[in-house]
Chains A and B, each alone.
Chain A
Amino acid sequence: MELPFLRGMGVALAAGLLAACTRDVDITLPPSEPQLVVEGRIETGVPPLVLLSRSTGFYDDFFLDSVSSYFVSGARITVFNGTDSVVLTELMLDTAGVRIPVYVGVGMVGEEGKSYWLVVEAEGKKLQAVTTIPRALPLDSLWWEAMPENDTLARLLCRFTDPPEPGNYVRYFTKRNSEPFLPGFNSVFEDDLVNGQSFDFPLDRGVDRNNPESFNDYGLFKRGDTITVKWCAIDAGHFEFWRTLEFELSGQGSPFAAPVIIKSNIEGGQGIWGGYAPSYHQLLVPR
């Protein structure tokens, strides 16, 4: 359980109660060396997948038509599962005219209970990481509840039984009808407060943080939606990455929040190499 609401409170106070006055300010940063960023995942039954990009100056403009220039191609990426290793194949993914290099480990798929070592060699640097795909932790059941004020909306509820041993971590995504899976606004959970218990809880709809519309009727689904929940067991390092990342995002704009240094599991670079053990659950909310 996180305490982002305290940070949120600071934002509310500063912005609302005190008629704060805001204006633009120009900041010139000293030049700093770009870092390599890994966005890699390995899921049960799916080959490893890695995107490799570079960080850029914080205040630099971001141009959509030069997206491809942020990505690194020509890297040598290896994944080792303790017995076998595979060199990832670079493919060019073309989405709406934007070409992005994607590295795929053909011939290897994720298995529960196994660890995966990642080695990335690119631009004269060597990055390393390890992740584990834990045993899946399926939800017991899903159901929905009508919203009293608005009969076109529905809230998703779940029952979960946490295993008796501590140290279980989960990241979840939801999908509405044929839309893509989106991570929850606070997408990761740990079991330190709820260890070994069976309990019911509401699960917020996942969001696309870049799309403001995604936040309309926050957390809720619509009557008539087919909801798919992707409920993934993850390991501790993987959890730490998303926990710190989401905490950092929640504090942006608050006068009281200190910057959070995101805990990457990548040695020599930034980003995440994460194993997922998903279980899928579906629920049709009638109109």
Chain B
Amino acid sequence: MRAVILILLLLPLTLTAQRVTLSGYVQDAESGERLAAAAVAISGTSTGTFSNDYGFYSLSVVPGRYRVVFSYLGYESRDTLLALFSDMRLNVALRPQVRMLEELVVTDVKKDANITQAEMGRFELPMEKLRTLPVVFGEQDLLKTIQLLPGVQGGTEASTGYYVRGGGPDQNLILLDEATVYNAAHLFGFFSIFNSDAVLNATLYKEGMPANYGGRISSVLDITTKEGNNRSLHGTGGIGLIASRLTLEGPLVRDRSSFIVSGRRTYVDVLLRPWIQTTDFSGSAYYFYDVNAKVNYRFSDKDRVYLSGYFGRDIFSFDDDYISFNIPWGNATTTLRWNHLFSDKLFMNATAVYNDYHFRISGNQEMVAFELRSGIRDVNLKADFDYYPHAERHWQFGGLYTYHVFQPQSVSGSSGEVTFNPSGVDKRYAHEGAAYLQTQQDLTDQLRLAAGLRLSWFQQVGPATVYRYDEFTGEVIDSVVYRRGQPVQSYAGPEPRLLLRYLISGRDALKLSYTLNRQYVHLVTNNGTTLPADLWVPSSLHVRPQIGHQYSVGFFRNWLDNRVESSVEIYYKKLLNQIEFREGYTPRVNEVIEENFVFGSGQSYGVEFYVAKKAGRYTGWAGYTLSYTNRSFPDLNQGRSFPYRFDRRHNLSLVGSIQISERWEAGAQFVYNTGIAYTIPSQKYFIEGQVVTLYDELNGYRLPAYHRLDVSATLRGKKKKPIQSDWTFGIYNVYNRKNVFFLYNEYEGIFLTDPVVTVQAKQVSLFPIIPSVTWNFRF
């Protein structure tokens, strides 16, 4: 820890020679969209940098003549001869690659970034590249693609839930234009809230996350939406089996300001209505919609402002003669950002975010009405700085502050004239703050260090009532009432992030990393999957922050002139202060939820193999993970450690696509996963003539292995037409594998009536072979 601080402090002292700065923005030549993580390299040297999240780059070099190459995946590279004798501002527009049959010529030198960069476990997912991959119902989904990466486990069938290196679902930080997303799923997890038309790209970090990210202990998924074309008006859209999408984008003031609005709605409710009219499900309806919108205005080369928002709702309703209920839930986020260039070397992004996630059920059962609410609301302010003193160095520092309001499950009701408004359940309030500093530094030609330090702090404040419990009985023995704003409990701590890259040769590198993360808000669920009703709770007197330590070592090697990347990574992860519900917990209204928590630890370790080919006629990747994940809780499973639900021993993903002709493209993917750990009954007994189940071993049973093959084909329309359209045909689960979604047990016969009653376990499979067709258009 002390070493890190020392290194950070000493780094500026190595600044010496006179330097000039080349800086500017990298953007898309057609739409004017800023390109994040575009490579900027001095040809013939190992000097280079990447544009930041806003397309800004800065490179300080000794004065001289240079050939500078700008490149970005999926775009034509550009190289320029520059006489750099004084500071220069250069905005570069890259043209998207025209699809062609022959192998693309790899020209630039930065294709070996995976070797040279001091980063591990980082995956860049440009949305455009994922469009041809097969998906269920033809609905593109970022979160389903993430599950195909090594070290990332998918949840149950077709679920968007993902689990990174043995971490829980709440341990993934998901940012949508810098706003934290608390529940990224629609419809019980089958679809994510990210509309593929609105998303520009996404970056996943499994380890070594830069210090500007924090608050979750397993991974970061940073999603950026498109800015909108600032040259001319365009539209894109699609009609699929279950949903339709429409996006409009264009300039507000040409070259200065643009907008994008993207909407999506499902129509399962409309399609199913005739089929369910005569069944028990008559009267039920479900749909979701979401809207993404973003505008930006460039005041000058130095100042740019973005305003973006997301609004999504799921609505599930049921109505028959006896009972009716209505369940809306969803997220709303608003992000206001200001990019400012203080100088060629200092870039700032200041952000204000408001976000709100809430869930509500209201219902009527004859004369009795009830309403249940839960949710979380954040206001967040943040400033991030990028400082580029010279080419080998990049400093980032900043800070953030968040005010959280948690609404735990609160219930009210009425029966006839009488209303019930229990007062026991209070909102929880908390401050969260962090400051960070990080840099990259070449220690020798071969050794590069990326070091970051984040200091985080969390404080629960009043109004609050805090209970003290009897050690033995668990009964409340005392309570303390805190006034508004009065501190209840504080936590703070350092979060060092260290990464060393050792270049063995130009083609291979060895990397080591250590990451410590602290997490102050927690999602505790007792369901098999995350449900909208799951609660987020803050750290408090009884709930301590989760802490994650991760150690990893990786070997990276590129082949065939950097056209093929490969890596092997070994990791060990320790999770502290993990939270689960106590045994026998059932949700109740009006309870102090923390009373039902038990605390323990978790660990995960494994090895991941990855090979990818990112450019050319054939592209794709293969990932294999061998991993072990368990949890240990003194109060669960009689104190014995037990496998984590998504402890999958083997996890294999093969993803490939091929450009067959100028208009046809085909894709396929295959996944094989060890079955999830499952709790099944061990014994049964009778009470009041009723058969009751006993469970012995938590997650002691394995479901059969999950495997599946999907294929897709895309036919692109002719380029010249004013409206271009694509047809995407897909087949999900080609060989109709009956993967187990869940198990249940059925009694065959009636107890105490029939001479024999047998118990039969049944497996339910969700999706058989499903063909799909989607029509996409753009103008």
Interface, chain A (partner B; CB < 8 A): 1-3, 5-6, 9-10, 12-14, 16-18, 20-27, 29, 32, 34-35, 37, 39, 53-65, 67, 70, 149, 155, 183, 190, 192-195, 197-202, 208-212, 240, 243-245, 247-249, 252-263, 270-272
Contacts and interface: CB of A to CB of B under 8 A. Distances in A.
Interface stretch (B298-306, B329-337, B753-761): B753-761
Interface in B363-416: 363, 365-368, 370, 372, 411, 413, 415-416
Given A2-B586, A200-B415, A271 B685 contact: yes
B687 A56 contact: no
A1 B415 CA distance: 13
Interface of B: 156, 188, 268, 272, 276, 279-281, 284, 286, 316, 321, 323, 325, 361, 363, 365-368, 370, 372, 411, 413, 415-416, 418, 420, 422, 424, 526-529, 531, 533, 583-591, 679-696, 701, 738, 740-745, 749-768
A57 B590 CA distance: 37
22 contacts: A2-B586, A5-B323, A5-B363, A16-B280, A20-B765, A23-B762, A56-B684, A58-B683, A61-B759, A62-B756, A62-B757, A62-B759, A63-B756, A64-B754, A64-B756, A193-B420, A199-B418, A201-B368, A210-B750, A212-B750, A249-B692, A257-B527
B583 to A, nearest CB: 4
Nearest to B157: A255
A180 to B, nearest CB: 10
A54 B684 CA distance: 9
4 A-B pairs with least C-beta separation:
A255-B742, A55-B685, A55-B683, A247-B586
Q: Which of A23, A58, A61, A259 has most B Cβ within 10 Å?
A: A58
Nearest to B272: A17
B753 A5 contact: no
B416 A199 contact: yes
A13 B279 CA distance: 13
B368 A256 contact: no
Contacts of A9: 316
B629 to A, nearest CB: 18
A53 B683 contact: no
Residue of B276, B687, B743 most packed against chain A (CB within 10 A): B687
Contacts of A55: 683-685, 694
B199 to A, nearest CB: 26
B279 A16 contact: yes
A8 B741 CA distance: 17
A25 B685 contact: no
The main secondary structure of chain A at its interface with chain B is mixed
Contacts of A35: 683, 685, 694
Contacts of B413: 1, 193
B367 A200 contact: yes
B694 A197 contact: no
Contacts of A60: 759
Nearest to A98: B752
A256 B188 contact: yes
Given A3-B587, A258-B528, A193 B765 contact: no
A197 B751 contact: no
Given A1-B588, A24-B762, 4 more contacts: A3-B588, A25-B740, A55-B694, A270-B694
A182 to B, nearest CB: 9
A22 B741 CA distance: 10
A26 B764 CA distance: 13
Given A3-B589, A25-B743, A210-B753, A255 B528 contact: yes
Contact of B756 (A3, A39, A61, A252): A61
A192 B415 contact: no
Contacts of A17: 268, 272, 276, 281, 286
Contacts of A63: 755-756
A261 B587 contact: no
B346 to A, nearest CB: 50
A285 to B, nearest CB: 17
Contact of B531 (A2, A20, A256, A272): A256
Given A252-B745, A256-B529, A192 B424 contact: yes
B411 A193 contact: yes
B762 A192 contact: no
A63 B754 CA distance: 8
B755 to A, nearest CB: 5
A172 to B, nearest CB: 14
A271 B756 CA distance: 24
B589 A270 contact: no
A255 B741 contact: yes
A57 B681 CA distance: 9
A146 B491 CA distance: 60
Given A12-B284, A202-B368, A261-B695, A20 B766 contact: yes
A64 B755 contact: yes
Given A17-B272, A261-B695, A198 B418 contact: yes
A12 B281 contact: yes
B756 A248 contact: no
Contacts of B758: 61-62
User: Which among B188, B684, B685, B760 has the greatest number of chain A C-beta atoms within 10 A?
Assistant: B685
A73 B188 CA distance: 49
B638 to A, nearest CB: 11
A200 B368 CA distance: 9
A19 to B, nearest CB: 8
B687 A32 contact: no
Contact of A25 (B321, B688, B762): B762
B584 A263 contact: yes
A35 to B, nearest CB: 7
Nearest to A212: B750
Contacts of A210: 689-690, 750-753
A194 B412 CA distance: 10
B479 to A, nearest CB: 14
Contacts of A16: 276, 279-281
Contact of A192 (B323, B588, B741, B768): B588
Nearest to B682: A32
Contacts of A70: 686
A64 to B, nearest CB: 5
Nearest to A19: B768
B478 to A, nearest CB: 17
A255 B321 CA distance: 27
A14 B764 contact: yes
Contacts of A211: 750, 753
A27 B584 contact: no
B728 to A, nearest CB: 22
A254 B188 CA distance: 13
B763 A23 contact: yes
A193 B691 CA distance: 30
A243 B415 contact: no
Contacts of A26: 761
Contacts of A57: 682-684
A21 B765 contact: yes
B415 A25 contact: no
A16 B268 CA distance: 13
Nearest to A20: B764
Nearest to A243: B586
Nearest to A208: B689
A193 B422 contact: yes
Contacts of B744: 252-254
B765 A261 contact: no
Contacts of A155: 366
A109 B744 CA distance: 42
A262 B533 contact: no
B152 to A, nearest CB: 22
Contacts of A13: 188
Contact of B683 (A18, A56, A272): A56
Contacts of B583: 261
A115 to B, nearest CB: 15
Contacts of A192: 422, 424, 588-591
Q: Which of B528, B701, B768 has the most CB of A within 10 A?
A: B528
A258 B745 CA distance: 14
A260 B586 contact: yes
